[in-house]
Structure 1
Amino acid sequence: MLIRNVYRPMVFSCQTTEPLADVARQMVEHKVGALAVLDGERLVGIITERDLVTALAASADPTSQRAADYASTQIRTAALEEDSLDVARRMLEEGIRHLPVYEGGRCVGMVSMRDLLALEAWAA
């Protein structure tokens, strides 16, 4: 199945300067495990629940530390026309739980391991 059929076609995001506490609130509000990190309108990273845990373990102050301080900046992406099994394998190999989905050079959504696992469970 193509990623086009399983990804979440909404981009929940935060700005690089947003405090980690606000990032966490947005994740809870949107019920997601990752946010795209933007500098203006340009995607510069992704911040995940795991990144927030890392920040807290380092005793970071969630009201003064910013999203850019803990975001992953080596962004891997998926394309709408990629096969979901290929994307799932790549995510497993690289230890990634969330991938921004791109079409025509623009981020159009996010796919998570949970999305891909649900696809597998429904197919069974």
Structure 2
Amino acid sequence: MRIGNVYRPGVLGCQADDRLSDAARRMTEEKVGALAVLDGDQITGIITERDLVSAVAAADDPGSAAVAAYTTTRVQTAGMDEDSQQVARRMLDAGIRHLPVEDHGRMVGMVSMRDLLALETWTT
């Protein structure tokens, strides 16, 4: 199945200079495990639950630390027409749980391992 049939549409993001606590609050409110870090409409990174745990483990104050300090900047993406099984394999190989989805170079949403697991459950 194509990623375009599986991903969660809509760009949920934050800015690099936002506080970690604001990013965590947004993730909680939206019930997601990652946010795109955006500069305008361009994705410059991703901040995940794991990144927030790293900040706490480093004894940083999430109330004042900036998202940029914990952003993953080497972001892989998935295309709308990519096969979901190939994307799942890439995610497993890279050890990541969230991939931004792009359409013609623009971020249009996110796909998570949970989305792909649900797809596997529905199709078996």
Tell me the TM-score normalized by structure 1: 0.98
- RMSD (Å) for aligned C-alpha atoms: 0.7
Give, as a single letter, the amino acid of the residue that structure 1 aligns with 2:98: H
Corresponding residue for 1:123?
123
SS in 2 for 1:102: strand
Q: What is the total number of aligned residue pairs between the two structures? A: 124
Asked whether 1:77 is paired with 2:87, we answer: no
Which residues of 2 match residues 1-124 of structure 1 at below 5 A? 1-124=1-124
Q: Determine if contact 2:14/2:23 at 8 Å carries over to the other structure.
A: yes
The answer as to whether partners of 2:97 and 2:113 remain within 8 angstroms in 1 is: yes
The amino acid across from 1:116 in the alignment is L
Identity %: 63
TM-score when normalising by structure 2: 0.98
Structure 1 unaligned regions, length at least 5: none
Query: What does the per-residue CA deviation read over 1:76-105, in whole Å, with 9 as the maximum and x for residues that have no partner?
Result: 000000000000000000001000000111
What is the deviation of 1:42? 2.2
Structure 2's unaligned 5+ residue stretches are none
SS in structure 2 of the partner of residue 50 of structure 1: helix
* Secondary structure of 1:100 counterpart: strand
